[in-house]
Amino acid sequence: MRSAIAKLPRNLYSSARVRELEPVLAKRQGVLMWSLMEQAGEAAWQRLRQRWPNINTMTVICGRGNNAGDGYVVARQAMEAGLEVRLLQLQTNRQLSGDARLAQKQFLSSGGHIQEATCEAIGTPDLIVDALLGTGFQGQLRLEVGQLVSAINDNGAPVMSLDLPSGLEADTGHVETVAVAADLTVTFVAVKQGLLTGQAASYCGDILLEPLCIGQELAQEEVPQSYKINYQDFLEHLQPRVADSHKGHHGRIAVIGGNHGMPGAVRLASEAALRSGAGLVSIISRYENLPLIQAGRPELMLWGSDIADIEVYQRVSWGQVVLCGPGLGSGDWAYHMWRVALNAERPLVMDADALNILAKHPQKRQDWVLTPHPGEAARLLGVETIEVQRDRFWAAQELYRRYGGVIVLKGAGTLIYDGARMLVAPVGNPGLATGGSGDVLSGIIASLLAQGLPPCEAAACGVCLHGEAADYAAEAGQRGMLASDLMPYIRQLVNP
């Protein structure tokens, strides 16, 4: 997790709720909304100077809402500090309203000038400040605004966005067409949940929170919509083992998978389960895969079967937790093995091909953890993948409504939802975009579940541990990173 994101508070909010509460909390403190805008602009200016202390020229691009008012305050502060400021305004033929109009007047009174916002007018500044669109934006940019955003991204100057990058939806992290690719986002009052999931990772850059005078009161009084988590949140679950422990104390896992030509996935998941502390792991796979699975990892127990018979059921029932899906494939063997997993009456982790079978044979239960990536989530919901990514929070909630248990919706800013808590894990890095990463994650979650963590904690801790291990592995480079590169770091991280 990037250090700036790690320092953000845990509580995440919807933008609508923050906008609703801002005037209420300001009035309670006897603060005018104009004063709040002044605080926001001044705070952003200070962050700007800390990040870019040597800039001399700056272009501030303002829209027509309160976000524009914040931009005018930043522009005035910069101008008064001696910087050369170019301010571009959308639709200069229309007056701003409310506090944004007052901020504009103060900028003009300080000697500022306003130009129409065009792509050519951006110039070649040392820095661009994005104050185009605020947290209420949703959907598709107007053509001229989209062209302006593209010009900002093509300019080459570093960019600071106020509250959020223009074009990004604050509550979902979705970008319909294009958004400003900021180097720094300074958000105000509270962190909006969409900044930490989905496409937001590609647009926000570093994120800093300025709570202003009302942020602390909001955090104390308002129930968050979701919660940011990281590896450090789960250290209490990773205590040293007692001196007289034995392998039976640390959980037995039965792993089902490995159809024709797919021994790697089940091997990766099973080794990850061992490396994250499981006492015993037994794999049920096709006979042909057994030599390849065991080669180099004799600690794994194996049972080969090309039919789902009573012995397979007994082997699966031996596990205190069942992991089904890595390399499971499709066809009769996969389906019958999937049925065995369901009938074993054990806590379940379902991943990969097991989720595709579930999409065809839907059912709901509370004792499983489902770990879909967006494509698998789309199949489970009967929608296109873009619908899942358009609102990942909705997708996680809808998956829970239909299937129950604990939902782990993978991707940038993985979501974990158990029907009561929505957890956001902005962990890991693009090096995880490689075959086998999801198998490793499912093995970790199954292992933590077998070691006694409650399902939601096992899922959340597993996601964070997996992401932290990936960050260590990526120190040698994200490109070319393998899922198996995580193994030594997993062992290190479960022994903090």
171 is in an annotated binding site: no
**Token representation of residue 351:** 């991943």
136, burial (CB in 10 Å: exposed 0-12, middle 13-18, buried 19+): middle
138 is in an annotated binding site: yes
174 is in an annotated binding site: no
327 is in an annotated binding site: yes
351 is in an annotated binding site: no
Residues 6 or more apart whose CB falls under 8 angstroms from that of 99 comprise 33, 34, 37, 66, 69
264 is in an annotated binding site: no
443 is in an annotated binding site: no
332 is in an annotated binding site: no
Q: Please, what sign has the CA dihedral across residues 349, 353, 354, 359?
A: positive
146, burial (CB in 10 Å: exposed 0-12, middle 13-18, buried 19+): middle
366 is in an annotated binding site: no
126 is in an annotated binding site: no
43 is in an annotated binding site: no
163 is in an annotated binding site: yes
411 is in an annotated binding site: yes
477 is in an annotated binding site: no
The one-letter amino acid code at 41 reads: G
135 is in an annotated binding site: yes
70 is in an annotated binding site: no
198 is in an annotated binding site: no
111 is in an annotated binding site: no
Give dist(CA 36, CA 24) in Å, integer.
12
Residues 6 or more apart whose CB falls under 8 angstroms from that of 131 comprise 60, 61, 62, 63, 67, 68, 70, 71, 72, 74, 162
140 is in an annotated binding site: yes
82 is in an annotated binding site: no
410 is in an annotated binding site: yes
Known binding residues for K(+) are 67, 130, 166
Annotated binding site for AMP: 410-414, 438
Which residue positions form the known binding site? Answer: 67, 130, 134-140, 163, 166, 265, 327, 373, 410-414, 438-439
**Binding residue ranges for (6S)-NADPHX:** 134-140, 163, 265, 327, 373, 439
